[in-house]
Amino acid sequence: MAELEPADLTAVAIQVAEQAAQHVRTRRPEVFGSGVTKTDAPQSVSTKSTDTDPVTIVDTESESLVRGLLASLRPGDAVLGEEEGGSVEVPSGVRWVIDPIDGTVNFLYGIPAYSVSVGAQVNGRTVAGAVVDVVRGTTYSATRGEGAYSDDGSGPVRLRTNPIDKVGLALVATGFGYGSARRRVQGELISALLPHIRDVRRIGSAALDLCMVASGAVDAHFEHGLSPWDWAAGSLIAEEAGAVVTIPDATSRSAAGNVTLAMAPGIADELGGLLARLGALEPIPD
Ligand code: IPD
Ligand code: CA
């Protein structure tokens, strides 16, 4: 199929991510109950890279739904997804990079911070993307060169990073991998960083962390070992809101341990320098 304008790809990303988010919203109470007490449904949960890396039946359903919608809306485009995979090579033409639930641990426990992320890449570079905060019902989206927006149902709002200029006041989101060796190094890094910043947040969905940099809900985000489905859409949303963004190569996967970093521009030099001195710009392989 001929390549569309990036804005057309954004419209597809929004449509697909919102439909998948609606499915995830509907299915959570069906599978895990709707009360405040965590309900186990062992038959609906298995694990992946480690015993603490879960995948639920709803992750699988959401990815199937996204793939089905993309096959009908954009037949012939390549797809890379967290659960069903895809080619490591970057294809020519459009590749959709999807995370059917980003924040699966939160989804499992009933913590209201999980999302569906759909990005469109051309030559490994994201040109369009949407992230839907499932519980809030907010859609974040961006088209390369055309800005980033959020929409909670009342119309699009242009996103801008915070006008912060002091690292000492920065609220920094981060996340930790599923393997214990990397987590030890990540923990040491946080203990070295913490005295220099306002505080840290570990939200539990990297895609939402990046959208929160865009909306000003945090001032920066960094994490080692993200895969393209975690950062594809969110990094563009952060960048289009004005963030200074560093992402791994599109062929890089979690095991390589490369850093993803998004910072409000007023603290980018100072925070980037601090992270470099702490060794935080180096990979933390698994
Ligand atoms: C995870 C989340 C989390 C991050 C992990 C990711 P998943 O994705 O984005 O915030 O810290 O590294 O793997 O497993 O919930 O799709
Ligand atoms: Ca993810």
Encode pLDDT of 121-143 as tens digits: 999 999 999 999 999 999 999 99
The percentage of the chain sitting over the pLDDT mark of 90, rounded to a whole number, equals 92
- Contact indicator for 124, 232 with CB cutoff of 8 Å: no
**pLDDT category, 210, cuts 50, 70, 90?**
very high
Tell me which of 3.40.190.80, 3.40.50.720, 3.90.950.10, 1.10.1740.10 is the CATH number of domain 167-278: 3.40.190.80
The mean pLDDT of the chain is 96
Q: How confident is the model at residue 4 (pLDDT cuts 50, 70, 90)?
A: low
- Residue list, CB under 5 A from ion ligand 2: 99, 102, 230
**pLDDT of residue 2 exceeding 60:** no
Quick one: which atom of ligand 1 is closest to the CA of 205? 10
Ligand 2 centroid to Cα of residue 226, in Å, is: 8
Q: How far apart are CA 264 and CA 271, in angstroms?
A: 10
Tell whether 51 is in a known binding site.
Answer: no
Query: Separation of 229 CA from ligand 2 center, angstroms?
Result: 6
Rounded Cα distance, 18 and 124, in Å? 24
Average pLDDT over residues 244-257: 94
Pocket of ligand 1 (CB under 6 A): 82, 99, 102-104, 175-177, 204-206, 223, 226, 230
Backbone phi, then psi, for 51, in 5-degree steps? -65, -20
82 is in an annotated binding site: yes
Please determine, for residue 17, whether its predicted confidence score (pLDDT) is greater than 90: yes
- In the 8-state DSSP scheme, what is residue 278? T
pLDDT of residue 90: 83
Q: Rounded distance, CA 54 to CA 118, Å? A: 20
Strand partners, 46: 55
Residue 77: pLDDT band (50, 70, 90) is very high
Angle between helices 228-240 and 206-215 (to 10 degrees): 0
Residue span(s) of the chain under CATH 3.30.540.10 come to: 6-32+50-158
* Mean pLDDT value across residues 74-103: 92
3: pLDDT confidence band, cut at 50, 70 and 90? very low
pLDDT digits (tens, 9 = 90+) for 89-117: 888 899 999 999 999 999 999 999 999 99
* pTM for the full predicted model: 0.97
Per-residue model confidence (pLDDT) at position 286 = 87
Could you tell me the two tokens for 228?
Answer: 């393209």
Distance CA 88, CA 181 (A): 25
Residue bearing the CA closest to ligand 1, atom 2: 205
Q: What integer pLDDT is reported at residue 91 of this predicted model?
A: 80
Contact 6, 144 (CB under 8 A): yes
Residue 244 tokens, joined = 């200074």
Q: Which atom of ligand 1 is nearest to the CA of 230?
A: 9
Delimit the CATH 3.40.190.80 region(s) of the chain.
167-278
Q: Give CATH superfamily name and number for 6-32+50-158.
A: Fructose-1,6-Bisphosphatase, subunit A, domain 1 (3.30.540.10)
